[in-house]
Structure 1
Amino acid sequence: MKLEDAEEIISWRYEEPYQIYNNESTPELIQEMLNNYYTVYGDEKQIIGFFCAGNSAQVPNDFYSYSESYLDIGIGMRPELTNKGLGTEFFSFVLDSMNQIFGDVELRLTVTSFNQRARRLYRKFGFSEDVIFIKGSTEFIIMNNGTLNYRERTI
């Protein structure tokens, strides 16, 4: 990810109840994005979304300990493109990209429980709901696709 991509993505604002996905610009977040995030561009070189992997895709909390058996993934789509039927194509591209970068690995993602759109999309791609935890006033669901063991593939 390039600096200008990170700055643009941080400026995105989602409407309620999705405002939990809004970010505030900090030097630490910018650095994390530059080191661990990938930009997804559309046909006209417009940013349509992003994805990340590993610790950057995890939701820090006091209740659930992320095991190393999975590769965590996180995604985000430009707010004005959400809820327009583009999720399948976008997520398919992300999964294909992840496969090219990391190989055929077992994936895990964390999603807010209220985000029914995302949960339906993930289930469509074979992810199943595994663990629920609460951080603050938000309930999160851990989902995985149960393919291969990430750590076994990296040894």
Structure 2
Amino acid sequence: MQITTMNKAVADEILNWRYEPPYDFYNNQKSDEALKELLGGSYQGVVDDEGKLIGFFCVGNSAQVPKGHDYHVYPDGYIDIGLGMKPALTGKGRGSEFLAFILEQIAIDSGNKPFRLTVAAFNERAIHLYEKFGFRKQQKFANGPIEFLTMVKETERA
């Protein structure tokens, strides 16, 4: 796997991804605003050895659910991570490799800060994966009918 620059072609492909229920919650609406978000500098694409897009990740405010600020679930001192895998590749045992690659890439510039991510509370598949990597559940909050969970992982570097 390797990182690729988030450009319009990569962003368009991501905006066209469609997940099966109940993961269709993660489907993006194709809009100028969504395109601007992906091209805003905090997102990177992840490609396989043949250069085919397999996912993306982002860091910083883009990885936070804005409603979480009302619940004070985002104190300073963490690196927020967001990620998504191409729908055709989910649920096939590739999540560990994908997450390990992303965490390794972000750790290079982490300054030894702990990681934090936000996941929909119904997404037990993702939560289980994150727990395997040492993330622990932190706080829950609601954004309309959807409940979210923040999870944190201490860095392992000395």
Task: Give TM-score, length-normalised by structure 1.
Answer: 0.90
Give me the whole-angstrom Cα distance separating, in 2, the residues matched to 1:107 and 1:45: 28
3-state secondary structure, aligned to 1:130 = strand
Give the alignment partner of residue 47 of structure 2, picking from 41, 44, 56. Answer: 41
CA shift, 1:65, in A, is 4.3
Residue 11 in structure 1 maps to residue 16 in structure 2: yes
Residue 21 in structure 1 maps to residue 26 in structure 2: yes
The structure with the greater share of residues assigned to helix is 1
Residue 83 in structure 1 maps to residue 88 in structure 2: no
Give me the whole-angstrom Cα distance separating, in 1, the residues matched to 2:90 and 2:112: 27
Q: What residue number does 1:153 align with?
A: none
Tell which deviates more after alignment, 122-131 or 28-37: 28-37
Tell which deviates more after alignment, 21-30 or 70-79: 21-30
Letter in 1 for 2:49: D
CA shift, 1:73, in A, is 0.2
Letter in 1 for 2:152: N
3-state secondary structure, aligned to 1:15 = coil
Give the alignment partner of residue 142 of structure 2, picking from 134, 138, 151. Answer: 134
Residue 53 in structure 1 maps to residue 52 in structure 2: no
Give the alignment partner of residue 82 of structure 2, picking from 74, 80, 86. Answer: 74
Alpha-carbon distance change, 109 to 132 in structure 1, aligned in 2, over 3 angstroms = same
Q: What residue number does 1:107 align with?
A: 115
Give me the whole-angstrom Cα distance separating, in 2, the residues matched to 1:111 and 1:126: 15
8 Å contact from structure 1 (residues 127, 144) kept in 2: yes
Letter in 2 for 1:33: L
Letter in 1 for 2:14: I
CA shift, 1:103, in A, is 4.0
Give me the whole-angstrom Cα distance separating, in 2, the residues matched to 1:106 and 1:116: 22
Q: What residue number does 1:121 align with?
A: 129
* Pairwise CA RMSD: 1.3
Percent identity, aligned pairs only, is 48
Alpha-carbon displacement from aligned partner over 1:77-102 (angstroms, at most 9, x marks no partner): 00010000000000000001111243
Q: Which runs of 5+ in 2 are unaligned?
A: 1-5
Letter in 1 for 2:104: D
CA shift, 1:108, in A, is 0.3
3-state secondary structure, aligned to 1:14 = coil
Number of residue-to-residue matches in the alignment: 148
8 Å contact from structure 1 (residues 64, 133) kept in 2: no
